[in-house]
Structure 1
């Protein structure tokens, strides 16, 4: 790329003299005057035609920085910039520089002469091999060079930086010189900008006003595009760009170009019409069926597909023709050529090509099949018959011949003829058997298994058509011929189960495992479990359970058994194979009879997918093996209670007392059983006994609650005071005491109870909220606000307190303050779902969607946010989306009662009775216990005996569509 100044100057001179687009011409140097110019008669200007001075850079005075091309080397520079060797005068060049230049000129810079390691120059020792020690030496030298360079790197870089700064201060760049003027451009007004005159046209008259107007021909794609849209114009209005087509057809088109293209497009349209008509005529045995109104419309829809790529089709046709002529015995070339003609609409040409291809490649199966596809009706049959003569062993051709026949007997005749020639084809046998009646199919399958003894499908199909005894013999022969296939053994087990021999099922599966292992077959546990699931879906319960018992422990380490089996059971449940899951649980319980978690998983499975009897039977076995597991006793008692068998539930709880004396859970379950069945005296005695033998805070709380709901306020107050002497750090007792006083309209005592509770339990959010609401209810808004502020100080980053503060201001009508508080709350608790859910509906309707998107980004899987989005869709009357988000919410958190209540309210307004009943049943099964609206109803003293469904109805009735 380097060159001397003389060489550079000669190039500049030549460009300036010839008017080329070099450095001088490109940047605005004076153009050379042609010899035959009109200016020759006038006085010639002195600078025209003269070479540019040395070092001249066009546009330098206007701030141009120049550019580098292969012709002129070096950027535009300031005249005062230090020059390097490339810009030195010729006289100052040394002899060594000239020799170096000559060497560089002679250097071969071809890509083939480039070496990744040595570059273009080559190696001094290129004659010898580059061995590993050479590579190590080079690496050492490179490391040394790098180390030596790093020693003074910082000092050198600082020195260079200082020198550059000093130099730029003495000789600034042109950009720096004009920087102050550029800053002043910001003060130029729009009128000043518009008043700047346009630059005149510096070209000569001949260039400005050419005698002949230049016309640019339009490409074929332009016309084809406007044909698609139905335009009939062919010229472009220069004022409207390509969008304005105003000149009538055919307009002022380029002679010889546009007319030729339009003629070709017209020919293509005629070809497409011929193709369409020929296809219609081929459809019904020579009869032409044409829709007089629709066939031209169809042609219009087909033109855009092929009208825009006429040139590509020509190229493809030429290429394929070349391939056919080069290698005429290459079937894909003929097939591709025929398909190209078919696509372009020349169906007859395609047929002729493919038939010629069958002559050149008579042994190609694909060629004959393509020919049969392209030919109509009877001609296709003749082609297939000819193909059979050339390829009597081709299964695909026989199948195609059978497909071409419309009569069932003709199909059977073709397939039987095929089986005479190709008796070993399983596909032919299967196709032939499918056309036969059961008796004939059985006879054919008997012959088929003789011809194809290794086909499992044929053996199993024959076994299904035979009687029980014959099917057993068929399966035995199949095992002898194919000793490595498991499906034969599983089919034999299913056969025995279907005929009542369930005791043989286990033996057959065990023998299958042994036999397959002896024949070197690896027992793939996942495949066998999948087979068991298929047996389960087919109704072969004994077989699926036998398979599970046989393979469930294969290939699993002992410490991984429990975890793996639980995953297998969940997988089976998700696939709908409940008997397989039941069998896995049964096997796991045999191996781990004392594992409480396995019994619980099995019990929940029976509760969700089994019957009450199966659940109770399982729980009886469970409590026998794990008598200390309270939850198993409670599940058994609840099952009896839900079946209205209260004495049986009492007896189970009595047995649970014997196994777990002084168990709080069992005491409280017994109390709940008696109290909800109106046995209040029994419940009081049980609670009294529990307080004396196993006193806990929850036992006292239930005692207070029982007296409170029964209307014995004095007894409840006394019990609460007694409980607080022992458990003063239990916040629920303080809350109950304050609520009892509020119910009796003793607001001062209620306030004292809440304040004393907060001294003992300052981290109980519910106590702070209750005290704040009490002050708000009596009209002390300022005091309520102060209480919540104090709660926030003592419990930072607590969403519940922030939420109550926002709602307090909103209820007081101070919406601006509530918005400000919400912003602070979201800063302090950025990932709180309840705050984001509230923030969505604090916004005005147009901003709610944006806020919900932000909420989902922060809390993607929070049930409160999902519920807020569902409510948002509900408010916008997007019923389907709202239902989807309600379903997503209750699936993520089935314990959130508010979600169920809102979902039920939604279905009451927009759903059917079936959908309403489904939501109700799912809610009863989920038994929700949490939620602000839900707990307000479920924990009310008047609703203490109501069922889940009744509470759901009450909460839904109190919900108002104010959001």
Structure 2
């Protein structure tokens, strides 16, 4: 064999020779070589581009030890078997087998789930058949038991006794029960002689069990049984048992004869954990006590562990030992008093007071143990002798006294605790006006940095009608505190103002707000901050504080219309009509260009019944805002509501000539339509459409008037032309499709709705019209299909989800309601649909609860109020009906399918909210359980 020279020179073996090549290795690829793959490399039925299985880690095997390296030493080699090791040591279970097992398991689980319902049904049927074939004894005699209720007392008493029906051979004399006779009977049976022992020869001794084990002295030397010593032994055993449960603490027994049974109940083990954990904890705590016996928490924890496990006596012993080891720990003494009975607790506290005479907590515990008021007072007075500077003890002692005695105690308390503001304030409240002022002056000298004293002084002056001093005291308080380097917390002062208002000190709260509201507020943020403060005070019910904040803001920003509007809305909600009108009068002086302020003032006068004053306000508004559309329309509404139709017509004519706007034209035509002047209304609409052809309401009114006159073809032409001008108007498309449906042109109606959806994509109202059209035509399956398409385009539409609930059968509406609530939880229409479903199921209280949720989510939804009111009309009381009516009037709803259809009807143009609510509720269908859509 020829060996290359290089191999001869390099006799050392390289470490990579004999090893497998790495993954993806191609020989010579660095020199531009191209690798190739044969079938022997990738195996059968595999593509060359597939990733090799070796790239993925083999599946994890359970309980498999890490594979050891094979021993290739010559000592491990055999000519017959090769290298040592088991041929079966390799695990034949590879990842293909594991994948197959997982697939089979999943198939088995799926098949088991399919058969589960059938298996459970079959098991229930078998159990039912079994109970029918083999009923219980009590079920077999149920009818007979029921007849026993008619048996009379005499019949019961005349029922004969059964007796022992067995014959003598069946009876077992050994099974007869035997009751030994008492000693007195045995003594009397011995012929009246008074004896103290039983002769064994008489045979009676054999009836006394345990004569040989009762102990010495119970059998006389002659072999007789002594009856007297049996009773003495019994008493001795009872005494031993009582001694075992007794103990001595400080020479006194801890057994309470009166509360013995109660203590027995407390000693029952109540711990339900593992006893091993208790043992471990006990050992740990014992180690802590032995290591550091002067550590109070160790003794307390040990006692509580024993208490939890039911060993109260052990806990008491441990804590007593703790008081000996830690006599200066008040926690240990208090724990010892807690674990003892009341009488023993007093002794423990007495010893604790001798050890720690300056601990307020121990004195308070001693007062708590006293049952009578006199004893409590005595304990507190002794405590105050020892600890005269304890504010807590003074407060507790004062609480127990009457007014006169409390005043004396407080006089002494402020001398001992001059820095306690609470004691000074309590004394000032009990004193007269003059003495109260002196007390507060002394309190200010002792506590110059406390704001409560100043605020209390202001309240005192207000209570005594010294209103001028209130402002001065608050102003001086701010100055003094700042001079003493006290940081003023603005939020805390506002909180004090709220508390002052709640206490009835209105002037004090307003003075605080005026002097603190601008403190530490930047000029750029002042307006926003003050509005938030006012809203926060109003939310807490502090309306005077909010009013003071608004007043300060209006002083700082007299030309800001947003501040005036916020203050006006506040007065309208929480104030009186007089306060609102006074505010609005100031507002229009500073902001005459703000139309809303003029209109609010006019409306307030009109609602109060003062129509001339409302006209006067609108006249001034005209001068300040000439050609204002809102003011023109408000004046027209004022006149029309008061039956002054001619004045309203003149105002509208003047408005059309000076300020011809779409709304003015619409209101002009609407007034003539309401007064049944249809031709005049149509001419006004034609005139308006020439100027404003893109205003959809003019087209709607013209078409509706034509429908009212019976010109359906002309109305349809108007709708068709209007939808070309106003393609985005959903009501126009709706009215056109509705007219086509009424005329029997269902295909045209479908086409119109399809065209409207093309012009207005993702519009849930148009989709709902298409669904309802198919329902009215009897195509329920088609309507469900349309609803499915609609929800694909508008998946979060509460309107469609609410309608989808009633498309389902009655049995499936509940699950559909759950799906709708998951998708649209806060949508009032979905919540309303759920409430109706509860009503249909006969659950009136649940429906009432969900109607309440609906009107809270969206108070502007008139349909919710109508259904709620109808429910109360049918099943509620008069009080409930009135409550819903008042809440609806306060909310003043404007929207809702049924509500708008009624309110927009020309016949109801002057109806108010209560009348509209009754009309809509009367026209609503009553929800009844059925499989039809609602």
Asked if TM exceeds 0.5, the reply is yes
Partner-residue secondary structure (3-state), 1:800: helix
* Closer/same/farther in 2, CA of residues 581 and 953 from structure 1, 3 Å limit: same
Higher deviation after alignment, 305-314 or 569-578? 305-314
Query: Aligned partners of 2:100 and 2:613: how far apart in 1?
Result: 96
Q: Give the C-alpha shift of residue 744 in structure 1.
A: 1.3
Aligned residues of 1:395 and 1:428 also touching (Cα < 8 A): yes
Per the alignment, residue 131 of structure 1 pairs with none
Q: How many pairs align?
A: 718
Deviations 1:269-289 (A, max 9, x none): x99x989xxxxxx99974258
- Structure 1 position 444 matched with structure 2 position 403: no
5 Å-filtered alignment, 1:378-397, equals 378-397=343-362
User: Which residue of structure 1 lines up, in the alignment, with residue 668 of structure 2?
Assistant: 703
Please report how far the alpha carbon of residue 512 of structure 1 lies from its aligned counterpart in structure 2 after TM superposition.
0.9
The 5 A counterparts of 1:183-582 are 286-288=257-259, 305-306=270-271, 308-582=273-547
C-alpha distance in 1, partners of 2:245/2:553? 73
Inter-partner Cα distance in structure 2 for 1:950 and 1:528: 48
Q: Structure 1 residues 731, 320: closer, same or farther in 2, change over 3 A?
A: same
- For 1:181-226, what per-residue CA distance to the aligned partner results, in whole angstroms no more than 9, with x for missing partners? 9699989x99xxxxxxxxxxxxxxxxxxxxxxxxxxxxxxxxxxxx
Could you tell me how far apart the structure 1 residues matched to 2:675 and 2:254 are?
A: 87
Q: Do the aligned partners of 2:266 and 2:312 also contact (CA within 8 Å) in 1?
A: no
> CA offset at residue 556 of structure 1?
1.3
Call closer, same or farther: CA 1:956–1:592 in 2, change over 3 Å.
same
**Structure 2: distance between partners of 1:338 and 1:181:** 60
CA contact (8 A) 1:775 1:783 kept: yes
Q: Secondary structure at the match of 2:316?
A: helix
Which secondary structure state, in structure 1, belongs to the residue aligned with residue 434 of structure 2? helix
The correspondence of residues 24-103 of structure 1 with structure 2, limited to 5 A, is 69=65, 73-74=68-69, 87-90=71-74
Instruction: Report the CA distance between 1:382 and its aligned residue.
Output: 1.6
Deviations 1:215-238 (A, max 9, x none): xxxxxxxxxxxxxxxxxxxxxxxx
CA RMSD of aligned residues (A): 3.2
> Which residue pairs with 2:605 in the alignment?
640
Maintained 8 Å contact 1:274/1:345: no
| 1:490–1:809 CA distance, 2 compared to 1 (3 A) | same
Deviation at 1:374, TM superposition (A): 1.6
Gaps of 5+ in 2: 1-58, 78-90, 109-240, 247-252, 928-933
* TM-score normalised over the length of structure 1: 0.70
Runs in 1 of length 4+ with deviation above 6 angstroms? 63-68, 173-187, 282-285
Gaps of 5+ in 1: 1-62, 75-85, 94-172, 191-269, 276-281
- SS in structure 2 opposite 1:685? helix
User: What is the alpha-carbon distance in structure 1 between the residues aligned to residue 98 and residue 341 of structure 2?
Assistant: 84
- 2:271 touches 2:310 (CA, 8 Å); kept in 1? no
- Can you list the C-alpha shifts for 1:743-786, whole angstroms capped at 9, x where unaligned? 11211111111112112112211111101111111222111111
Structure 1 counterpart of 2:20: none
How many angstroms apart in 2 are the aligned matches of 1:608 and 1:770?
39
User: SS state of the match for residue 458, structure 1?
Assistant: helix
Instruction: Look up the match of 1:801.
Output: 766
Paired residue for 1:730? 695
How far is the alpha carbon of 1:866 from its aligned partner?
A: 2.9
> Structure 1 pair 382/837, CA: closer, same or farther in 2 (3 Å)?
same
Residue 595 (1) aligns with residue 560 (2): yes
Pair 1:780 & 2:745 matched: yes
Change (3 A) 1:751 1:452: same
Quick one: distance in 2 between partners of 1:842 and 1:290? 69
Rounded to whole Å, the distance in 2 between the matches of 1:604 and 1:742 is: 42
2:930 aligned with 1:935:
no
User: 3-state SS of the aligned residue for 2:271?
Assistant: helix
Confirm whether residue 950 of structure 1 aligns to residue 915 of structure 2. Answer: yes
* Greater mean deviation of Cα atoms: 364-373 or 894-903: 894-903
Q: Quick one: distance in 2 between partners of 1:776 and 1:667?
A: 39
Match of 1:655 in 2: 620
Q: Give the C-alpha shift of residue 843 in structure 1.
A: 1.8
Structure 1 residues 929 and 531: CA distance shift in structure 2, 3 A? same
1:789 alignment partner in structure 2: 754
**CA offsets, 1:592-619, max 9 Å, x none?**
1111111111111111111111111111
Show the 5 A alignment for 1:124-143: none
Out of 621, 628, 631, the position equivalent to 1:666 is 631
Give the counterpart of 1:617 among 543, 568, 582: 582
SS in 2 for 1:579: helix
Alignment check: 8 A CA contact 2:266 2:310 kept: no
TM-superposed deviation, 1:175? 7.2
The residue correspondences of 1:795-834 to structure 2 (distance < 5 A) are: 795-834=760-799
Deviation string, structure 1 residues 257-309 (Cα, Å, up to 9, x no partner): xxxxxxxxxxxxx99x989xxxxxx9997425869xxx99x899x66x43653
Question: What aligned pairs does 1:753-768 form with structure 2 within 5 A after superposition?
Answer: 753-768=718-733
Displacement, 1:450?
0.5
TM-score (norm 2): 0.73
Q: Structure 1 residue 348: deviation in Å?
A: 2.4
Give the C-alpha shift of residue 889 in structure 1.
Answer: 3.0
TM-superposed CA distance for 1:805, in Å, is: 0.5
Give the C-alpha shift of residue 886 in structure 1. Answer: 3.1
Task: Give how far 1:527 is off.
Answer: 0.6
Question: Residue deviations 1:603-662, cap 9 Å, x none?
Answer: 111111111111111111111111111111111111111111111111111111111111
Instruction: Please name the residue that 2:25 is paired with.
Output: none
In 2, Cα distance between equivalents of 1:943 and 1:609: 32
Distance 1:447 1:700, change over 3 A: same
In structure 2, relative to structure 1, the CA distance for the partners of 1:881 and 1:89 (3 Å cut) is farther
Change (3 A) 1:741 1:289: farther
CA contact (8 A) 1:758 1:768 kept: yes
Per-residue Cα deviation, 1:654-708 (whole angstroms, up to 9, x for no partner): 1111111111111111111111111111111111111111111111111111111
Deviation at 1:180, TM superposition (A): 14
Asked if the contact 2:306/2:312 (under 8 Å) is kept, the reply is: yes
Cα distance in structure 1, aligned partners of 2:62 and 2:697: 84
Aligned residue number for residue 835 of structure 1: 800
**Deviation of the 1:923 alpha carbon:** 2.0
CA 1:67–1:759 in 2, change beyond 3 Å: closer, same or farther? closer
Match of 1:891 in 2: 856
Assess, with a 3 A threshold, how the Cα gap between structure 1 residues 666 and 566 changes in structure 2: closer, same or farther.
same
Structure 2 vs 1, CA of residues 462 and 182 (structure 1 numbering), >3 Å: closer, same or farther? closer
Partners of 2:683 and 2:425 lie apart in 1 by 80
TM-aligned CA deviation for residue 725 of structure 1: 1.6
Q: Which residue of 1 aligns with 2:570?
A: 605
* Equivalent residue number for residue 868 of structure 1: 833
Q: CA deviation at 1:820?
A: 0.5
Task: Say which of 652, 657, 666 aligns to 1:692.
Answer: 657
Q: Which residue of 2 aligns with 1:844?
A: 809
Kindly tell me: are residues 725 and 863 of structure 1, through their superposed partners in 2, closer, same or farther at Cα, counting changes over 3 Å? Answer: same
The CA deviation at 1:552 is 0.8
Asked if residue 744 in structure 1 is aligned to residue 709 in structure 2, the reply is yes
1:848, distance to aligned residue in structure 2 (A): 2.6
Is residue 285–residue 377 contact of structure 1 (8 Å, CA) maintained in 2?
no
Structure 1 580/822 Cα, relative in aligned 2: closer, same or farther at 3 Å? same
Distance across 1 between alignment mates of 2:336 and 2:410: 33
Q: CA deviation at 1:884?
A: 4.3
| Counterpart for residue 126 of structure 2 | none
Which whole-Å CA distance do the structure 2 matches of 1:915 and 1:615 have between them? 31
1:559 is paired with a residue whose SS is coil
